[in-house]
Amino acid sequence: MAHSSPPQPRSIAPRGPLTGTLTVPGDKSISHRSLMFAALAVGTSRISGLLEGEDVLATAAALRAMGATIERTGDGEWRVDGVGVGGLLQPAQALDMGNSGTSTRLLMGLVASHPITATFTGDASLSARPMGRVIEPLAQMGADITASPGGKLPLMVRGLTPAVPITYTLPVASAQVKSAVLLAGLNTPGLTRVVEPVATRDHSERMLRGFGADLTVEDSDAGRVITLRGEAELKPQTITVPGDPSSAGFWLVAASIVPGSDLVVRNVGLNPTRTGLIAALRLMGADITELDAREVGGEPVADLRVRHAPLTAIEVPPDLAPSMIDEYPVLFVAAAFAAGRTVARGAHELRVKESDRIAAMRAALEACGVPCEEYDDGLAVTGTGGGAIPGGATIASLLDHRIAMSMSVAGLHAAAPVAIDDASPVATSYPVFYQTLDAVTGA
Ligand code: S3P
Protein backbone atom coordinates (compact mmCIF):
# COMPACT_ATOMS: atom_id res chain seq x y z
CA MET A 1 0.00 0.00 0.00
CA ALA A 2 1.13 3.53 -0.71
CA HIS A 3 1.34 4.37 2.97
CA SER A 4 3.85 1.64 3.71
CA SER A 5 5.87 1.50 0.49
CA PRO A 6 9.18 3.39 0.28
CA PRO A 7 9.05 6.79 -1.48
CA GLN A 8 9.46 6.55 -5.24
CA PRO A 9 11.01 9.77 -6.54
CA ARG A 10 10.47 10.42 -10.24
CA SER A 11 11.69 13.05 -12.63
CA ILE A 12 9.70 13.96 -15.72
CA ALA A 13 11.79 15.50 -18.47
CA PRO A 14 10.05 17.43 -21.23
CA ARG A 15 8.96 15.06 -24.00
CA GLY A 16 7.66 15.08 -27.52
CA PRO A 17 4.08 14.60 -28.60
CA LEU A 18 1.68 12.00 -27.27
CA THR A 19 0.56 9.80 -30.12
CA GLY A 20 -1.12 6.45 -30.75
CA THR A 21 -3.75 4.75 -28.65
CA LEU A 22 -4.08 3.90 -24.99
CA THR A 23 -6.78 2.24 -22.93
CA VAL A 24 -7.71 3.65 -19.54
CA PRO A 25 -8.08 1.25 -16.60
CA GLY A 26 -11.38 0.46 -14.90
CA ASP A 27 -13.33 3.13 -13.09
CA LYS A 28 -12.34 3.37 -9.44
CA SER A 29 -15.80 4.30 -8.12
CA ILE A 30 -17.48 1.50 -10.06
CA SER A 31 -14.79 -1.02 -9.11
CA HIS A 32 -15.31 -0.41 -5.38
CA ARG A 33 -19.06 -0.69 -5.77
CA SER A 34 -18.84 -3.85 -7.92
CA LEU A 35 -16.99 -5.65 -5.16
CA MET A 36 -19.24 -4.35 -2.39
CA PHE A 37 -22.55 -5.12 -4.08
CA ALA A 38 -21.31 -8.50 -5.29
CA ALA A 39 -20.22 -9.28 -1.71
CA LEU A 40 -23.80 -8.59 -0.58
CA ALA A 41 -25.49 -10.62 -3.29
CA VAL A 42 -26.40 -14.26 -2.72
CA GLY A 43 -24.34 -16.31 -5.18
CA THR A 44 -21.49 -15.78 -7.61
CA SER A 45 -20.83 -12.50 -9.44
CA ARG A 46 -18.16 -12.03 -12.09
CA ILE A 47 -16.43 -8.74 -12.71
CA SER A 48 -14.22 -7.85 -15.65
CA GLY A 49 -12.19 -4.71 -16.15
CA LEU A 50 -11.82 -4.20 -12.39
CA LEU A 51 -9.29 -1.53 -11.46
CA GLU A 52 -6.52 -3.41 -9.68
CA GLY A 53 -5.23 -0.39 -7.79
CA GLU A 54 -4.41 -0.30 -4.09
CA ASP A 55 -7.64 1.49 -3.13
CA VAL A 56 -9.84 -1.18 -4.70
CA LEU A 57 -7.65 -3.96 -3.29
CA ALA A 58 -8.22 -2.44 0.17
CA THR A 59 -11.97 -2.80 -0.40
CA ALA A 60 -11.51 -6.41 -1.52
CA ALA A 61 -9.41 -7.26 1.54
CA ALA A 62 -11.97 -5.71 3.91
CA LEU A 63 -14.86 -7.59 2.31
CA ARG A 64 -12.90 -10.84 2.58
CA ALA A 65 -12.29 -10.10 6.24
CA MET A 66 -16.08 -9.84 6.60
CA GLY A 67 -16.81 -13.18 4.98
CA ALA A 68 -17.03 -12.69 1.21
CA THR A 69 -15.01 -14.97 -1.05
CA ILE A 70 -13.18 -12.84 -3.61
CA GLU A 71 -10.78 -14.30 -6.15
CA ARG A 72 -8.79 -12.89 -9.03
CA THR A 73 -9.30 -15.21 -11.98
CA GLY A 74 -7.35 -13.25 -14.64
CA ASP A 75 -6.21 -9.81 -15.69
CA GLY A 76 -8.95 -7.53 -14.31
CA GLU A 77 -11.20 -10.61 -13.95
CA TRP A 78 -12.64 -11.30 -10.53
CA ARG A 79 -15.11 -13.72 -8.99
CA VAL A 80 -17.07 -12.85 -5.87
CA ASP A 81 -19.21 -15.19 -3.78
CA GLY A 82 -21.43 -12.95 -1.70
CA VAL A 83 -22.74 -13.46 1.82
CA GLY A 84 -26.12 -11.79 1.23
CA VAL A 85 -27.41 -8.54 2.74
CA GLY A 86 -27.25 -8.98 6.52
CA GLY A 87 -24.62 -11.70 6.24
CA LEU A 88 -21.40 -9.80 6.86
CA LEU A 89 -19.27 -11.39 9.58
CA GLN A 90 -17.31 -9.83 12.39
CA PRO A 91 -13.79 -9.03 11.09
CA ALA A 92 -11.04 -10.48 13.26
CA GLN A 93 -8.77 -7.48 12.87
CA ALA A 94 -8.86 -3.77 12.11
CA LEU A 95 -9.68 -2.99 8.46
CA ASP A 96 -6.73 -1.23 6.83
CA MET A 97 -8.17 1.26 4.32
CA GLY A 98 -4.78 2.52 3.14
CA ASN A 99 -5.29 5.80 1.28
CA SER A 100 -8.89 5.17 0.27
CA GLY A 101 -11.69 7.49 1.37
CA THR A 102 -14.22 5.67 -0.80
CA SER A 103 -13.46 2.29 0.81
CA THR A 104 -13.71 3.81 4.28
CA ARG A 105 -16.91 5.77 3.91
CA LEU A 106 -18.86 3.18 1.94
CA LEU A 107 -17.78 0.27 4.14
CA MET A 108 -18.67 2.26 7.27
CA GLY A 109 -22.17 2.40 5.80
CA LEU A 110 -22.23 -1.35 5.29
CA VAL A 111 -21.04 -2.13 8.80
CA ALA A 112 -23.50 0.38 10.35
CA SER A 113 -26.54 -1.84 9.82
CA HIS A 114 -24.90 -5.23 10.42
CA PRO A 115 -24.56 -6.80 13.88
CA ILE A 116 -20.78 -6.46 13.83
CA THR A 117 -18.08 -4.08 15.04
CA ALA A 118 -15.24 -2.94 12.81
CA THR A 119 -12.24 -0.68 13.34
CA PHE A 120 -11.05 1.36 10.37
CA THR A 121 -7.45 2.52 10.02
CA GLY A 122 -5.61 4.28 7.22
CA ASP A 123 -2.46 6.08 6.13
CA ALA A 124 -1.50 9.61 7.19
CA SER A 125 -3.52 11.21 4.37
CA LEU A 126 -6.70 9.25 5.10
CA SER A 127 -6.30 9.75 8.86
CA ALA A 128 -6.46 13.52 8.30
CA ARG A 129 -9.75 13.41 6.37
CA PRO A 130 -13.15 14.24 7.86
CA MET A 131 -15.41 11.30 8.67
CA GLY A 132 -18.01 13.34 10.59
CA ARG A 133 -19.99 13.63 7.36
CA VAL A 134 -20.71 9.89 7.43
CA ILE A 135 -20.69 9.47 11.19
CA GLU A 136 -23.65 11.87 11.51
CA PRO A 137 -26.19 10.04 9.32
CA LEU A 138 -24.98 6.57 10.34
CA ALA A 139 -25.38 7.52 14.02
CA GLN A 140 -28.93 8.68 13.23
CA MET A 141 -29.53 5.18 11.87
CA GLY A 142 -28.38 3.76 15.19
CA ALA A 143 -24.73 2.89 14.66
CA ASP A 144 -22.42 3.56 17.59
CA ILE A 145 -19.28 5.19 16.24
CA THR A 146 -16.20 6.15 18.23
CA ALA A 147 -13.80 8.27 16.22
CA SER A 148 -10.45 9.88 16.91
CA PRO A 149 -10.54 13.61 17.80
CA GLY A 150 -12.05 15.72 15.02
CA GLY A 151 -14.08 12.80 13.65
CA LYS A 152 -11.03 11.15 12.09
CA LEU A 153 -9.55 7.67 11.69
CA PRO A 154 -8.82 5.39 13.44
CA LEU A 155 -12.46 4.86 14.31
CA MET A 156 -14.73 2.04 15.37
CA VAL A 157 -18.22 1.37 14.03
CA ARG A 158 -20.55 -0.82 16.09
CA GLY A 159 -23.47 -1.66 13.81
CA LEU A 160 -27.11 -1.90 14.86
CA THR A 161 -29.56 -4.50 13.52
CA PRO A 162 -32.26 -3.61 12.80
CA ALA A 163 -31.08 -0.08 12.04
CA VAL A 164 -33.45 2.88 11.82
CA PRO A 165 -34.44 4.10 8.35
CA ILE A 166 -33.87 7.84 7.85
CA THR A 167 -34.42 10.60 5.33
CA TYR A 168 -31.13 12.42 5.00
CA THR A 169 -30.46 15.64 3.12
CA LEU A 170 -26.80 15.85 2.14
CA PRO A 171 -25.15 18.92 3.70
CA VAL A 172 -22.19 18.56 1.28
CA ALA A 173 -22.29 17.36 -2.33
CA SER A 174 -20.73 13.95 -1.73
CA ALA A 175 -21.37 10.68 -3.51
CA GLN A 176 -19.51 8.92 -0.73
CA VAL A 177 -21.90 10.17 1.94
CA LYS A 178 -24.90 9.41 -0.25
CA SER A 179 -23.59 5.90 -0.88
CA ALA A 180 -22.76 5.27 2.79
CA VAL A 181 -26.38 5.98 3.75
CA LEU A 182 -27.75 3.86 0.91
CA LEU A 183 -25.45 0.97 1.78
CA ALA A 184 -26.57 1.17 5.42
CA GLY A 185 -30.14 1.25 4.10
CA LEU A 186 -29.71 -2.10 2.34
CA ASN A 187 -30.00 -4.00 5.63
CA THR A 188 -32.46 -1.58 7.27
CA PRO A 189 -36.20 -2.28 7.36
CA GLY A 190 -38.42 0.20 5.50
CA LEU A 191 -37.44 3.11 3.28
CA THR A 192 -34.11 4.90 3.50
CA ARG A 193 -34.07 8.20 1.67
CA VAL A 194 -31.27 10.50 0.58
CA VAL A 195 -32.00 13.96 -0.75
CA GLU A 196 -29.19 15.52 -2.73
CA PRO A 197 -29.62 19.22 -3.47
CA VAL A 198 -26.74 18.96 -5.96
CA ALA A 199 -26.42 15.83 -8.12
CA THR A 200 -23.26 13.79 -7.60
CA ARG A 201 -21.99 10.66 -9.34
CA ASP A 202 -24.85 8.18 -9.50
CA HIS A 203 -23.02 4.86 -9.83
CA SER A 204 -24.49 3.49 -6.59
CA GLU A 205 -28.03 4.15 -7.77
CA ARG A 206 -27.48 2.65 -11.21
CA MET A 207 -25.68 -0.40 -9.90
CA LEU A 208 -28.00 -1.13 -6.97
CA ARG A 209 -30.88 -1.20 -9.43
CA GLY A 210 -28.85 -3.52 -11.65
CA PHE A 211 -28.36 -5.84 -8.65
CA GLY A 212 -32.14 -5.94 -8.19
CA ALA A 213 -32.64 -3.48 -5.33
CA ASP A 214 -35.94 -1.58 -5.15
CA LEU A 215 -34.55 1.94 -5.62
CA THR A 216 -36.23 4.98 -7.15
CA VAL A 217 -34.92 8.42 -8.05
CA GLU A 218 -37.21 11.43 -8.32
CA ASP A 219 -36.55 15.10 -8.89
CA SER A 220 -38.11 17.47 -6.38
CA ASP A 221 -37.75 21.14 -5.40
CA ALA A 222 -35.28 20.03 -2.74
CA GLY A 223 -33.17 18.13 -5.29
CA ARG A 224 -32.81 14.46 -6.29
CA VAL A 225 -34.62 12.14 -3.91
CA ILE A 226 -33.28 8.59 -3.80
CA THR A 227 -35.47 6.05 -2.04
CA LEU A 228 -34.27 2.55 -1.24
CA ARG A 229 -36.39 -0.25 0.18
CA GLY A 230 -34.33 -2.06 2.78
CA GLU A 231 -33.79 -5.68 3.68
CA ALA A 232 -32.99 -5.93 0.01
CA GLU A 233 -32.09 -9.11 -1.77
CA LEU A 234 -29.29 -8.52 -4.25
CA LYS A 235 -28.91 -10.91 -7.16
CA PRO A 236 -25.44 -11.79 -8.43
CA GLN A 237 -24.37 -10.05 -11.63
CA THR A 238 -21.86 -10.18 -14.44
CA ILE A 239 -20.28 -6.73 -14.58
CA THR A 240 -17.97 -5.04 -17.05
CA VAL A 241 -16.36 -1.99 -15.49
CA PRO A 242 -15.99 0.92 -17.94
CA GLY A 243 -12.77 2.96 -18.08
CA ASP A 244 -12.23 5.73 -15.56
CA PRO A 245 -12.88 9.25 -16.89
CA SER A 246 -10.77 10.62 -14.03
CA SER A 247 -7.78 8.59 -15.24
CA ALA A 248 -8.52 9.63 -18.82
CA GLY A 249 -8.33 13.27 -17.71
CA PHE A 250 -4.54 13.18 -17.43
CA TRP A 251 -4.22 12.18 -21.09
CA LEU A 252 -6.79 14.69 -22.28
CA VAL A 253 -4.78 17.49 -20.70
CA ALA A 254 -1.37 16.05 -21.66
CA ALA A 255 -2.27 15.77 -25.34
CA SER A 256 -3.92 19.20 -25.31
CA ILE A 257 -0.78 20.95 -24.01
CA VAL A 258 2.08 19.10 -25.74
CA PRO A 259 2.50 20.40 -29.31
CA GLY A 260 2.02 17.84 -32.08
CA SER A 261 -0.02 15.43 -29.94
CA ASP A 262 -2.78 13.33 -31.49
CA LEU A 263 -3.95 10.60 -29.16
CA VAL A 264 -6.87 8.19 -28.92
CA VAL A 265 -7.90 7.41 -25.35
CA ARG A 266 -10.00 4.25 -25.43
CA ASN A 267 -12.74 3.07 -23.06
CA VAL A 268 -13.64 6.35 -21.36
CA GLY A 269 -16.74 6.27 -19.14
CA LEU A 270 -18.93 9.25 -20.00
CA ASN A 271 -21.56 9.14 -17.28
CA PRO A 272 -22.83 12.75 -17.27
CA THR A 273 -22.08 13.05 -13.54
CA ARG A 274 -18.37 12.59 -14.39
CA THR A 275 -17.71 14.59 -17.54
CA GLY A 276 -17.13 18.11 -16.17
CA LEU A 277 -13.45 18.14 -17.15
CA ILE A 278 -14.27 17.47 -20.80
CA ALA A 279 -16.80 20.30 -20.73
CA ALA A 280 -14.30 22.69 -19.12
CA LEU A 281 -11.49 21.76 -21.53
CA ARG A 282 -13.80 22.27 -24.48
CA LEU A 283 -14.70 25.72 -23.15
CA MET A 284 -10.94 26.41 -23.16
CA GLY A 285 -10.71 25.35 -26.80
CA ALA A 286 -9.53 21.75 -26.45
CA ASP A 287 -9.96 19.52 -29.48
CA ILE A 288 -11.69 16.40 -28.13
CA THR A 289 -13.93 14.22 -30.29
CA GLU A 290 -15.95 11.17 -29.32
CA LEU A 291 -15.57 8.00 -31.36
CA ASP A 292 -17.56 4.78 -31.22
CA ALA A 293 -20.08 5.85 -28.54
CA ARG A 294 -21.43 2.69 -26.85
CA GLU A 295 -22.69 1.33 -23.56
CA VAL A 296 -20.57 -0.73 -21.17
CA GLY A 297 -21.95 -2.08 -17.90
CA GLY A 298 -24.96 0.26 -18.10
CA GLU A 299 -22.75 3.34 -18.52
CA PRO A 300 -22.12 5.45 -21.64
CA VAL A 301 -18.59 4.93 -22.97
CA ALA A 302 -16.62 6.24 -25.96
CA ASP A 303 -13.09 6.49 -27.26
CA LEU A 304 -11.82 10.06 -27.23
CA ARG A 305 -9.50 11.53 -29.83
CA VAL A 306 -7.61 14.51 -28.45
CA ARG A 307 -5.28 16.71 -30.45
CA HIS A 308 -3.00 19.51 -29.29
CA ALA A 309 -4.85 22.82 -29.36
CA PRO A 310 -4.23 26.35 -28.14
CA LEU A 311 -6.10 26.81 -24.85
CA THR A 312 -7.70 30.00 -23.61
CA ALA A 313 -8.34 30.85 -19.95
CA ILE A 314 -11.90 30.57 -18.65
CA GLU A 315 -13.90 31.16 -15.52
CA VAL A 316 -14.68 27.56 -14.66
CA PRO A 317 -18.46 27.33 -14.14
CA PRO A 318 -18.91 26.39 -10.46
CA ASP A 319 -21.85 24.16 -11.35
CA LEU A 320 -19.38 21.81 -13.08
CA ALA A 321 -17.69 21.14 -9.71
CA PRO A 322 -19.51 17.92 -8.73
CA SER A 323 -18.89 16.35 -12.15
CA MET A 324 -15.16 17.16 -12.16
CA ILE A 325 -14.34 17.16 -8.46
CA ASP A 326 -11.33 14.85 -8.87
CA GLU A 327 -10.12 16.60 -12.03
CA TYR A 328 -9.31 20.08 -10.70
CA PRO A 329 -5.60 19.35 -10.18
CA VAL A 330 -5.14 18.43 -13.84
CA LEU A 331 -7.44 21.26 -14.95
CA PHE A 332 -5.09 23.65 -13.11
CA VAL A 333 -2.27 22.16 -15.18
CA ALA A 334 -4.21 22.84 -18.38
CA ALA A 335 -4.74 26.40 -17.12
CA ALA A 336 -0.96 26.80 -16.72
CA PHE A 337 -0.65 26.50 -20.52
CA ALA A 338 -3.70 28.57 -21.48
CA ALA A 339 -3.65 32.18 -22.64
CA GLY A 340 -4.82 34.31 -19.73
CA ARG A 341 -5.94 33.77 -16.17
CA THR A 342 -8.22 30.83 -15.41
CA VAL A 343 -10.30 31.16 -12.28
CA ALA A 344 -11.92 28.17 -10.57
CA ARG A 345 -14.09 28.89 -7.52
CA GLY A 346 -16.85 27.04 -5.69
CA ALA A 347 -14.69 23.96 -5.11
CA HIS A 348 -14.13 24.08 -1.36
CA GLU A 349 -14.30 20.27 -1.17
CA LEU A 350 -10.83 20.18 -2.77
CA ARG A 351 -9.47 21.05 0.66
CA VAL A 352 -10.47 17.65 2.10
CA LYS A 353 -9.35 15.23 -0.63
CA GLU A 354 -6.26 13.00 -0.38
CA SER A 355 -4.47 16.32 0.20
CA ASP A 356 -5.62 19.93 0.36
CA ARG A 357 -5.59 20.13 -3.43
CA ILE A 358 -5.92 23.90 -3.58
CA ALA A 359 -2.84 24.48 -1.42
CA ALA A 360 -0.96 21.53 -2.95
CA MET A 361 -1.48 22.64 -6.56
CA ARG A 362 -0.75 26.26 -5.77
CA ALA A 363 2.57 25.26 -4.16
CA ALA A 364 3.40 22.86 -7.00
CA LEU A 365 2.61 25.25 -9.85
CA GLU A 366 4.28 28.22 -8.18
CA ALA A 367 7.41 26.13 -7.64
CA CYS A 368 7.36 25.51 -11.41
CA GLY A 369 7.12 29.23 -12.14
CA VAL A 370 3.37 29.43 -12.78
CA PRO A 371 1.65 32.44 -11.11
CA CYS A 372 -1.31 31.41 -8.94
CA GLU A 373 -3.71 33.06 -6.55
CA GLU A 374 -5.30 30.98 -3.85
CA TYR A 375 -8.90 31.44 -2.72
CA ASP A 376 -10.70 29.76 0.10
CA ASP A 377 -12.69 27.74 -2.47
CA GLY A 378 -10.45 27.59 -5.50
CA LEU A 379 -7.46 28.80 -7.46
CA ALA A 380 -6.60 31.26 -10.20
CA VAL A 381 -3.79 30.22 -12.56
CA THR A 382 -2.09 32.44 -15.14
CA GLY A 383 -0.99 30.44 -18.15
CA THR A 384 1.86 30.72 -20.64
CA GLY A 385 -0.38 30.90 -23.69
CA GLY A 386 0.95 27.58 -24.92
CA GLY A 387 4.70 27.79 -24.29
CA ALA A 388 6.61 25.63 -21.81
CA ILE A 389 6.38 26.44 -18.12
CA PRO A 390 9.77 26.99 -16.40
CA GLY A 391 9.61 23.76 -14.32
CA GLY A 392 12.86 22.76 -12.59
CA ALA A 393 11.29 22.08 -9.18
CA THR A 394 10.68 19.13 -6.88
CA ILE A 395 7.00 18.69 -6.06
CA ALA A 396 5.63 17.24 -2.82
CA SER A 397 2.94 14.71 -3.79
CA LEU A 398 1.61 14.64 -0.19
CA LEU A 399 0.36 11.02 -0.49
CA ASP A 400 -1.98 12.24 -3.22
CA HIS A 401 -2.00 10.26 -6.48
CA ARG A 402 -3.67 13.04 -8.44
CA ILE A 403 -1.06 15.63 -7.43
CA ALA A 404 1.70 13.25 -8.57
CA MET A 405 0.05 12.50 -11.93
CA SER A 406 -1.05 16.08 -12.61
CA MET A 407 2.43 17.48 -12.03
CA SER A 408 3.93 14.68 -14.12
CA VAL A 409 1.72 15.93 -16.96
CA ALA A 410 2.96 19.49 -16.33
CA GLY A 411 6.54 18.23 -16.66
CA LEU A 412 5.89 17.06 -20.22
CA HIS A 413 5.99 20.66 -21.44
CA ALA A 414 8.43 22.37 -19.08
CA ALA A 415 11.76 24.07 -19.82
CA ALA A 416 13.44 22.02 -17.07
CA PRO A 417 12.41 18.64 -15.60
CA VAL A 418 9.74 18.44 -12.92
CA ALA A 419 10.57 16.03 -10.10
CA ILE A 420 7.96 14.32 -7.92
CA ASP A 421 9.26 13.54 -4.44
CA ASP A 422 7.15 10.38 -4.17
CA ALA A 423 5.15 8.90 -7.03
CA SER A 424 4.18 5.74 -5.11
CA PRO A 425 0.60 7.00 -4.42
CA VAL A 426 -0.10 6.66 -8.16
CA ALA A 427 -0.54 2.93 -7.47
CA THR A 428 -3.76 3.67 -5.57
CA SER A 429 -5.68 4.49 -8.77
CA TYR A 430 -3.49 4.06 -11.84
CA PRO A 431 -0.73 1.47 -11.35
CA VAL A 432 0.39 1.55 -15.02
CA PHE A 433 0.32 5.34 -15.45
CA TYR A 434 4.06 5.76 -16.04
CA GLN A 435 4.32 2.74 -18.36
CA THR A 436 1.47 4.19 -20.41
CA LEU A 437 3.17 7.59 -20.43
CA ASP A 438 6.35 6.00 -21.79
CA ALA A 439 4.37 4.11 -24.42
CA VAL A 440 2.51 7.13 -25.82
CA THR A 441 5.58 9.37 -25.82
CA GLY A 442 7.80 6.74 -27.45
CA ALA A 443 10.18 6.79 -24.46
C1 S3P B 1 -16.21 9.14 -4.96
C2 S3P B 1 -16.78 10.35 -4.64
C3 S3P B 1 -16.02 11.61 -4.57
C4 S3P B 1 -14.68 11.50 -5.26
C5 S3P B 1 -13.96 10.23 -4.92
C6 S3P B 1 -14.79 9.02 -5.31
C7 S3P B 1 -17.06 7.94 -4.98
O8 S3P B 1 -15.78 11.92 -3.22
O9 S3P B 1 -13.86 12.61 -4.92
O10 S3P B 1 -12.71 10.16 -5.57
O11 S3P B 1 -16.63 6.89 -5.52
O12 S3P B 1 -18.18 8.01 -4.48
P13 S3P B 1 -16.80 12.79 -2.33
O14 S3P B 1 -17.99 11.96 -2.05
O15 S3P B 1 -16.02 13.11 -1.09
O16 S3P B 1 -17.10 14.01 -3.15
Tell whether ligand 1 has an atom less than 6 A from the beta carbon of residue 246: no
pLDDT at 431: 98
**Same domain for 384 and 395?**
yes
- Taking residues 173-188, what's their average pLDDT? 98
- How much is the average pLDDT of 398-421? 98
Domain region containing 266: 10-26+242-441
* H or E element in which residue 45 lies: strand 42-48
Residues designated catalytic: 326
Of the pLDDT bands very low, low, confident and very high (cuts 50, 70, 90), residue 276 is very high
Asked if the structure places residue 272 within a domain, the reply is yes
Q: How far is the CA of 105 from the centre of ligand 1 (A)?
A: 10
Q: Is residue 223 part of a domain?
A: yes
Q: In 315-442, which residue ranges form alpha helices assigned H by DSSP? A: 328-336, 357-367, 401-411, 433-440
Please count the structural domains in the chain: 2
Rounded to an integer, what distance in angstroms lies between the CA atom of residue 316 and that of residue 18? Answer: 26
**Average pLDDT for residues 399-403, to the nearest whole number?**
98
Query: Residue 2: pLDDT above 80?
Result: no
Mean pLDDT of 271-286: 98
Of 194, 229, 264, the last residue of a domain is 229
Q: Do 72 and 47 touch, CB atoms closer than 8 A?
A: no
- Is residue 64 in some structural domain? yes
- Coil, strand or helix at 193: strand
Q: Whose CA is nearest to atom 4 of ligand 1?
A: 326
Of ligand 1's atoms, which has the minimum distance to the CA of residue 173? 16
Are residues 179 and 316 located together in one domain of the fold?
no
Please state the pTM of the whole predicted model.
0.98
Report pLDDT digits (tens) over 66-94: 999 999 999 999 999 999 999 999 999 99
- Tell whether 109 and 176 lie within a shared domain: yes
Q: Is residue 234 part of a domain?
A: no
Of 172, 201, 352, the one to substitute when testing ligand 1's pocket (max ligand atoms within 8 A of C-beta) is 201
Identify whether 236 is part of a domain.
no
Instruction: For residue 4, name the pLDDT band (cuts at 50, 70, 90).
Output: low
Query: Does the C-beta of 406 come closer than 6 Å to ligand 1?
Result: no
Specify whether the CB–CB gap between 355 and 403 falls below 8 A: yes
Q: How far apart are CA 123 and CA 115, in angstroms?
A: 27
Q: Note whether 287 and 355 are same-domain residues.
A: yes
Q: How far is the CA of 443 from the centre of ligand 1 (A)?
A: 33
SS3 for 425? helix
164 shares its domain with 294:
no
Same domain, 63 and 135: yes
Look at residue 5 in the predicted model and tell me its pLDDT.
78
CB of 176 shorter than 6 A to ligand 1 = yes
For residue 400 and ligand 1, the question of a CB distance below 6 A is answered with no
Query: What CATH number does the domain containing 318 carry?
Result: 3.65.10.10
**Do both 32 and 21 map to the same domain?**
no
Q: Kindly state whether residue 2 falls inside one of the protein's structural domains.
A: no
29 lines ligand 1 (CB under 6 A): yes
Is ligand 1 within 6 A of the CB of residue 325? Answer: yes
What was the pLDDT predicted at 1? 45
Q: Identify whether 428 is part of a domain.
A: yes
The CA distances from residue 3 to 41, 89, 125, 352, 358, in Å, are: 31, 27, 9, 18, 22
Last residue of a domain, one of 208, 229, 250: 229
CA of 102 to the centre of ligand 1 (A): 6
In this structure, are 50 and 85 located in the same domain? Answer: yes
Q: Whose CA is nearest to atom 11 of ligand 1?
A: 29
* Mean pLDDT within 208-214: 98
User: Average of pLDDT values for 193-216?
Assistant: 98
436 part of a folded domain: yes
* Arithmetic mean of pLDDT, 252-258: 98
Question: At residue 300, does pLDDT exceed 50?
Answer: yes
Contact 19, 439 (CB under 8 A): no
- C-alpha 81, offset from chain centre: 25
Shared domain for 257 and 395, answered yes or no, is yes
Span 125-154, pLDDT tens digits: 999 999 999 999 999 999 999 999 999 999
Is any ligand 1 atom within 6 A of the Cβ of residue 326?
yes
426 and 300 both lie in a single domain: yes
Instruction: Examine the fold and report which residue of 204, 229, 254 is the final residue of a domain before the chain moves on.
Output: 229
Q: Distance from the CA of 32 to the center of ligand 1, in angstroms?
A: 11
209 lies in the same domain as 255: no
**Do 395 and 431 fall within a single domain?**
yes
